[in-house]
Amino acid sequence: MASRYTLRPLMRSARCQLQPSHSQRCFSSSIRRYEPTSESTNHERTTHFGFETVSESEKEARVAGVFSSVAASYDVMNDCMSLGIHRLWKDHFVRSINPGSSSSSQPWKMLDIAGGTGDIAFRLLQHCDEINHSPQSTITISDINPAMLDEGRKRSLATPYARSPRLDFLVANAEHLDTIPSDSVDLYTVAFGIRNFTNKEAALREAFRVLKPGGLFACLEFSGVTNPVLDAVYQRWSFGAIPLIGQIVAGDRDSYQYLVESIERFPKQEEFRDMIQDAGFLVPGKGWEDLTMGIAAIHKGVKPVELQATQ
Ligand SMILES: C[S@@+](CC[C@H](N)C(=O)[O-])C[C@H]1O[C@@H](n2cnc3c(N)ncnc32)[C@H](O)[C@@H]1O
């Protein structure tokens, strides 16, 4: 007799108002690589804010400053950073999850973390309705930043889900989802959010905790470009053009500089896959799907269902 794990049928299948404590940064448009830094000191744990090493508490405040600054110009930001391709990636992300599909006709309880302006959540609900005829499926859009959630609330007014009990908003840090019960969520999504988290491992552990056994973790994030020629062009574009466009379009070079540095700093595909596994998830296949030659990638993990051994 041996116990083993299996999958449930796949789911039931950045003008930055720098915080007063910020030191002024010197920016250049050249490509810079981060240098390895210590994750902790004797006194206070440190982490990365782009290519800078900062204390964990300072990072959280500065990330908040970035997203408060860019909340109103968020769509422009995304379009600038991805040349509009983020819309196609998001569409594909949602299709690949196929939310609302259920052999038992059960509605899905979904959680979109770092959901900001609702881009992913509205797509998920629409897919539930139009593709899987699951009009009872619900979603909570959660974000640490009230300004981003306010944009989401405004944008929801243009959707059929405005003021619907199927949609709610929660201000929360992804690393401490204290108000969300364990084993309560069918789907946890995070799109272009996790690279901003101070403690990514803690966020992955929380994802694992809140998901039901058999529930799906799905992440869409910038990743490692697999083609060296595209990578060279992409690096020039990211570090040369994006901060400049941020300055011209939004009057905010610093936030855009942080965003491109955070992309460079984020773990590449294999390393992030391993982090997901370390949090306890089962990873289907190789664990990720590259989008546009790895500029972005979708990572998935399933919370295992422990089956009783059969005789
Ligand atoms: C680039 S936006 C992504 C928004 C949306 N998911 C999308 O794809 O359009 C990143 C979001 O992560 C949020 N965020 C950063 N740190 C967070 C944390 N620790 N917990 C929850 N959200 C966080 C920011 O406030 C911001 O709204």
CATH of the domain at 246: 3.40.50.150
- Place 122 in a pLDDT band, splitting at 50, 70 and 90: very high
- Place 201 in a pLDDT band, splitting at 50, 70 and 90: very high
In a domain, 10, yes or no: no
More confident residue, 77 or 283: 283
Please tell me the predicted confidence (pLDDT) of residue 18. 28
Which residue has 């988290």 as its token pair? 197
List beta partners, residue 138. Answer: 109
Of the candidates 92, 93, 126, the residue with the CA atom closest to the CA atom of residue 216:
93
Would you say 187 and 210 are in contact if contact means Cβ atoms under 8 Å apart?
A: no
Task: Give per-residue pLDDT as tens, 167-193.
Answer: 999 999 999 999 999 999 999 999 999
Average pLDDT, the chain: 84
> H or E segment at 291?
strand 288-291
> What amino acid occupies position 306?
E
Q: Which residues are annotated as a binding site?
A: 117, 143, 173-174
- Kindly state if the Cβ of 297 falls inside 6 Å of ligand 1: no
> Is pLDDT above 70 for 159?
yes
- Place 42 in a pLDDT band, splitting at 50, 70 and 90: low
Q: Is 178 exposed, middle or buried (0-12, 13-18, 19+ CB in 10 A)?
A: exposed
Range of 200's domain? 58-304
The dihedral over CA atoms of 66, 71, 77, 81, expressed in degrees to the nearest 10, equals 50
Q: Which of 148, 189, 252 to mutate to test the pocket of ligand 1 (most atoms within 8 A of CB)?
A: 148
* Ranges 31-40, 112-121, 284-293: which has the least confidence: 31-40
Q: Which residues are annotated as a binding site for S-adenosyl-L-methionine?
A: 117, 143, 173-174
> Is pLDDT above 50 for 16?
no
- Kindly state if the Cβ of 115 falls inside 6 Å of ligand 1: yes
- Place 43 in a pLDDT band, splitting at 50, 70 and 90: low
In a domain, 64, yes or no: yes
- Kindly state if the Cβ of 258 falls inside 6 Å of ligand 1: no
In a domain, 260, yes or no: yes
Please tell me the predicted confidence (pLDDT) of residue 256. 85
> H or E segment at 187?
strand 185-191
Q: What's the gap in Å between 116 CA and the centre of ligand 1?
A: 6
- Place 71 in a pLDDT band, splitting at 50, 70 and 90: confident
Once rounded to an integer, what is the mean pLDDT over residues 93-117?
A: 92
Once rounded to an integer, what is the mean pLDDT over residues 34-43?
A: 45
In a domain, 255, yes or no: yes
Please tell me the predicted confidence (pLDDT) of residue 12. 40
Query: What is the C-alpha separation between 287 and 274, in angstroms, rounded?
Result: 9
Return the exposure string of 233-268: e unless at least 16 CB atoms fall within 10 Å of the residue's CB, then b. ebbeebbeebbbbbbeebebbbbbbbbbbbbbbbbe
How many domains in the chain?
Answer: 1
> Is pLDDT above 60 for 206?
yes
- Kindly state if the Cβ of 148 falls inside 6 Å of ligand 1: yes
> Is pLDDT above 70 for 40?
no
In a domain, 31, yes or no: no
In a domain, 96, yes or no: yes
* Ranges 56-70, 204-218, 229-243: which has the least confidence: 56-70
> Is pLDDT above 90 for 281?
yes
In a domain, 36, yes or no: no
Please tell me the predicted confidence (pLDDT) of residue 130. 95
Of the candidates 253, 260, 259, the residue with the CA atom closest to the CA atom of residue 17:
253
In a domain, 15, yes or no: no
Query: What is the C-alpha separation between 259 and 82, in angstroms, rounded?
Result: 12
> Is pLDDT above 90 for 6?
no
Of the candidates 32, 83, 89, the residue with the CA atom closest to the CA atom of residue 240:
32
